Amino acid sequence: MKPIALHSTRAGASLRTGLLLGVLAAVFGPALLWLLAALLPPDVLGQAAAPWRAAVLLMVVVQGVTGAMLVLHLLARRLEEPLARLTEQAHALAALRPATTLPLRDQAPELQPLARGLDALRERTAQVQGELQAGKAKLRRAATHDALTGLPNRTLLQELFGHEAASARRQARSLALLRIGIDRLHTVNETLGHSVGEELLTGMAHRLAATLRDSDFICRGGGDEFLVLLSGPVGWDRVATAAERLLRCVEEPLQLPRSGQVLGASASLGIAMYPTDGSDFAGLERAASLALQRSRTLGRGLYSFYQPGLDQALRERIDAERELARALERDELTLVYQPMVDAGSGRVLGCEALLRWQHPERGLLAPADFIETARQCRLMADLDAWVLEAACGELAGWLGQGLAPGRLALNLSVQQARNPALSEALRDALDRHALVPAMLELEITEDAFLDDPDGVPRALARWRTLGLGLTVDDFGVGYSSLSQLRRLRPQRLKIDCSLVRGLPHDTEDCALAQAMLAMAAALGIEVLAEGVETAAQRKWLLAHGCALQQGHLHGMPMPAAAFAAWLARSPQPQALA
């Protein structure tokens, strides 16, 4: 077989050579004859050669044209296949399909620059495609994962829930959605800085994820919250066990390497079951949020299952929030003032500004009817700002009338006590109304120190710097200790009315009141008894050294104009130095 192949190859080469020689002879033979005839003198060829010379010329032209066409045809055949491959590569690049490199040695010399250009374009296209794919992957991760913790976000959880819910419907099983909120994260942010808060949140995210099973799914829910989807067969007992495990893992102290802190935390948790509490993701998430709010209302470190009654509570709360926001806009809020007196001499020592809401339908409302709503919907800062401005304006008006109302006491929320901007707001209000700091006294409840044992003392220090008076309100209903009072050093304590109410007949109330008076005296702190309503209470308090009193016996809470009139006819008003 090999000799045959060799013979065939030689025969093919001989044939191609012969064809080439024939073409050359056909094209150039007549041309040579005509050239010879044209060069020879006419007398050599004779007169008969003229027609022959014309025929030879015509043959030369015809053969030249035929030869040129043959050469062009051969050249086209030579370039046709490489051009087709280059065209195919160009089409692949245009369609962003993979394109192979064409070896340059297989290309005609005329096409090699074009082939090099297409190869360079192919390489750059592949590079750009790789960059686009990497960017697309980054965008996809950014859209479905939390940048801080690295956990999936709510968008990805919602997508996964769709698949899990479809599977649960087919298999007639339940799912559970847990909403976990880290308690008092805002306190960490305000006291230790946001970087520490973010490190704490990231550490808790990894700890919670490690506590779950592989089949469960956790994502960042925003702020201080996480969402957990428990899949597989779940009953309330298994969900409760998982909730307890998650709450316990949060309570373990967490080492924060970057900040060098070791922090403890707690969490609250709300649970909603699918499909009982919600048929879609939005409904289930809403139910879990309501259950989380209930847990936080009951206390920290607790979990609650969703209950249908929470919907009605939510609607009522939303209505109350809307009404309270309108009350600020429509000037439905007002202040009333209750005098604080020296019960021995009857002199006015000051007054307390008390907030009221003149509701268009429910009448005059006390703070107990709306303060909790204000806390939940984050309107406390707006309320405090309104109270500060209104009280300072009315105090300036009384002073302009020549009245001496004494010190004006204002109640502040825990949120405002932690807010460093409050000092600036107080300074601006005093300057705007031409008041000296000694004219204002700020009251903060005893339980505020327990809620924020570090932030509140710092706030008190800032207020002292301004020259403001400081009072611990509702003293006796919380758990303040002697060491806390030594640390805080308020100018005044107000004995809560719940203890004054039993005086002088309830022996336990008498014993507690005597202990408080003795403790305050030992620390050099003034004591004011609030809620004094009877002459017997006034007499007992005076006998035990508590002359500063406030209550209906000495004066009811009054609107600004009525208080000014009462003040004008009161004996020996106390002017501030």
pLDDT of residue 51: 63
Q: What is the spatial distance between Cα 349 and Cα 576, in angstroms, rounded to a whole number?
A: 9
> What phi, psi does 182 have (nearest 5°)?
-75, 125
Please report, for residues 153, 396, 430, 492, the alpha-carbon distance to residue 467 in angstroms, rounded to integers and kept in the order given.
48, 18, 11, 14
Alpha helices in 401-440 (DSSP H): 414-418, 421-432
Low-confidence ranges of the chain (pLDDT < 50): 1-19, 21-22, 104, 572-577
pLDDT at 558: 96
- Which residues are CB-contacts of 25 (< 8 A; sequence separation ≥ 6)? none
Cβ proximity of 472 and 480 under 8 Å? yes
The b-or-e profile of 452-467 (16+ CB within 10 A means b, else e) is beebbeebbeebeeee
**CA proximity to 228, closest of 238, 219, 241:** 219
* 342 backbone dihedrals φ, ψ, rounded to 5°: -85, 110
Residue 322, pLDDT score: 86
**Which residue segments constitute the domains of the chain, with CATH numbers given?**
23-35+53-74 (no CATH), 89-95+119-144 (no CATH), 154-307 (3.30.70.270), 328-568 (3.20.20.450)
Q: Are 227 and 274 in contact (CB under 8 A)?
A: no
Q: What is the dihedral of CA 11, 13, 15, 17, to 10 degrees?
A: -150
pLDDT tens digits, residue range 357-405? 999 998 999 998 888 788 766 788 889 889 999 999 999 999 999 998 9
Residue 506's identity, in one-letter code, is D
Helices (H) and strands (E) in the chain, counts: 21, 17
Among the listed residues 236, 239, 204, 242, the one whose alpha carbon sits nearest the alpha carbon of residue 220: 204
* Cα(208)–Cα(224) distance, integer angstroms: 13
In 189-332, DSSP assigns E strands to: 217-222, 225-230, 254-256, 261-263, 267-274, 303-305
- The rounded distance, in Å, linking the Cα atoms of 531 and 534 is 9
Structure tokens at 363: 């009448």
pLDDT score of 417: 66
- pLDDT for position 573: 45
- If we measure between CA atoms, which residue out of 452, 447, 438, 446 comes closest to residue 409? 438
Determine what percent of the chain is predicted with pLDDT higher than 90.
38
Helix H or strand E segment including 495: strand 492-495
> How far is 432 from 434, CA to CA, in rounded Å?
6
Residue 246 Cα to chain centre, angstroms: 22
Count other C-beta atoms under 10 Å from residue 492's C-beta: 21
What pLDDT, on a 0 to 100 scale, did the predictor assign at position 201?
93
Asked if 464 and 487 count as a contact pair (C-beta separation under 8 A), the reply is no
pTM, two decimals, is: 0.56
Q: What residue type is 507 in one-letter code? A: T
Name 28's Cβ contacts closer than 8 Å, sequence gap at least 6. none
d(CA 209, CA 213) in angstroms, rounded, equals 8
